[in-house]
Amino acid sequence: VVMVKKPNGKWRMCTNYTNLNKACLKDAYPLPNIDQLVDGAFSHKIMSFLDAYSGYNQIRMHPQDEDKTAFIIETANYCYHVMSFRLKNIGTTYQSLMNKIFSKQIGQIMEVYVDMVVKSSDVSTHISDLADVFQALHRHRMRLNPEKCVFGV
């Protein structure tokens, strides 16, 4: 376990999962098409950029897999109950979850790849679109990082 200082001054605990990752099969989940992401935002007049607060850490681990993330600090054993950075398939797991949460919005009022972009043709529609996205976030108990969100660009 290594502690790494983040740009905002807070600390991140990093655990070496090299051996666990070698034992895991790679998830074959497609990344979003970059042309679709760019073209999908091009014709819209107003956008907001949303960042999930420690997004990976908002995904619960399957209880049977928690012990696989075990690590030791001094005299105690610990394991993650949420997905951790450095796990092999965390990116595909996160993207898959975002695609499920926002299945009705993606390609219409938003695009998602790591972060979320809500796109609208005018301000009044944008407020309604943001409300729709916030409702989906609330339903799934996803939290945003207000320091990294930008509204009305």
pLDDT average, residue stretch 108-118: 90
User: Is a pLDDT exceeding 80 seen at residue 35?
Assistant: no
pLDDT average, residue stretch 129-135: 97
Contact 58, 142 (CB under 8 A): yes
pLDDT for 64: 93
pLDDT tens readout for residues 48-66? 999 998 878 888 989 999 9
pLDDT tens readout for residues 64-94? 999 998 888 888 888 889 888 888 888 888 8
What number of other Cβ atoms are within 10 A of residue 141's Cβ? 7
| Structural domains of the chain in order of their starting residue, each with its CATH number | 25-61+83-148 (3.30.70.270)
pLDDT for 27: 87
